[in-house]
Structure 1
Amino acid sequence: MRLLYIIIGYIFFGIASGWLGFLILNSVLEIDESLSIVGGLSVGGYGIKLFTDILKKRQ
């Protein structure tokens, strides 16, 4: 069951933060869509790193 929570957490942190990063770059800052996708991917990667750090602190 814990593994399921970890997988859901990684998916949530990765997709949610990446999508939010894309929306901020594309809509708010009005940056080109291709650059917004790259920025969203990098923010998603940071979200996954953040979740990994949270897991390490809880163990």
Structure 2
Amino acid sequence: MARANADQALRRRALLELAHAWQVRGALRRARRHTTAGAFAVVAGAVVFPPATTR
């Protein structure tokens, strides 16, 4: 009985670790998208700024 409980605990722990890995993967994907969007915004600002400030 103790062996079965230990095996079940190991499987649950592995499943929990897998779920956490999926959450981290999703967070990293969102962070990459936000970083890319921010980089495009900075580049767009750098392109628009000089013509807007010259006569």
TM-score (norm 1): 0.47
Larger-gyration structure (1/2): 2
The structure, 1 or 2, with the larger RCO (C-alpha pairs under 8 Å, 6+ apart) is 1
Structure with more helix by fraction: 2
